[in-house]
Amino acid sequence: MRRYRYEIDNVRAHLRSLWTIIGLQIIVILALWFGWSQSSRYLTVHVPPDLRSGATLAVDEVPAANVYAFAFYIFQQVNRWPDDGARDYGKAIFRIAPYVTPRYRADLIADMELKGRQGELAYRVRGVQEVPDHGYEERRVDVLAPGVWVVWLDLDLFESVKGMTVKKTTIRYPLRVVRLSVDPETNPWGLALDGYGATGPRRLSGAELADEPGKGH
């Protein structure tokens, strides 16, 4: 009889230990669930365009090539007036508003108003394109500070009024780019144009165009 009592006591002790283990597992599961629920739902990874040599990527690290591509694309959009600059310039500023800083947006609006008063918008068609053989290379992106860059764009600028060409020139634009991840829904890049860096835009001479791409900025 005593033997059976010992067996029953052993079984009860074993059950208690099992319940203890189950309780600990529940606590661990709850802790893991809480940690998972508090973690970021989305991670932004900027993948460089050339992966032939592979790439080691860190979360939120922005490769220079991506900064250059962003600056060129947004700047090209704000300088695209397909029909009439008097209407198209304002539409372009509104369209790219999530991709520029408030300061640069104010500068663009002031520039639009000035050009309007000087009669430089009505019926004006405008566009910019990259100068051949002056595309991206590492020297075209300067890192000023963490999350702050200057991108050097060599662009052909074309303007016409009622079909007549009024401007055709090549300009080097130093564009300041900053991190601005305040609204990922409207700006998934997490970057923004912040105006001009260095001394501002300047025309390129024929000798500079014939020189090594990107040299002399």
> What pLDDT, on the 0 to 100 scale, is given for residue 150?
96
> What pLDDT, on the 0 to 100 scale, is given for residue 216?
47
> What pLDDT, on the 0 to 100 scale, is given for residue 47?
59
Q: What are phi and psi of 184, to 5 degrees?
A: -60, -20
> What pLDDT, on the 0 to 100 scale, is given for residue 62?
83
> What pLDDT, on the 0 to 100 scale, is given for residue 203?
92
Query: Packing angle between helix 64-78 and helix 85-95, nearest 10 degrees?
Result: 150
Task: Let me know: does 198 contact 150? Beta carbons within 8 Å.
Answer: yes
Task: Let me know: does 171 contact 202? Beta carbons within 8 Å.
Answer: yes
> What pLDDT, on the 0 to 100 scale, is given for residue 214?
45
The encoded tokens of residue 111 equal: 């520039």
The encoded tokens of residue 187 equal: 């700006």
> What pLDDT, on the 0 to 100 scale, is given for residue 30?
82
The encoded tokens of residue 118 equal: 């000087």
> What pLDDT, on the 0 to 100 scale, is given for residue 207?
75
pTM: 0.74
> What pLDDT, on the 0 to 100 scale, is given for residue 215?
44
Q: 200: phi > 0 → left, psi -120 to 50 → alpha, else beta; which?
A: left
The encoded tokens of residue 193 equal: 């144009």
Report which of 93, 100, 67, 62 is spatially closest to residue 79, judged by C-alpha positions: 93
Q: Which residue is associated with the tokens 């010992």?
A: 6
Q: Please report, in tens digits, the pLDDT of each residue of the chain (217 residues total).
A: 666 566 666 667 777 777 888 888 888 888 777 766 665 555 555 555 554 445 555 556 788 899 999 999 999 999 999 999 999 999 999 999 999 999 999 999 999 999 999 999 999 999 999 998 888 888 999 999 999 999 999 999 999 999 999 999 999 999 999 998 878 889 988 999 999 987 899 998 877 777 654 444 5
3-class secondary-structure state, position 175 = strand
> What pLDDT, on the 0 to 100 scale, is given for residue 5?
63
The encoded tokens of residue 175 equal: 């564009």
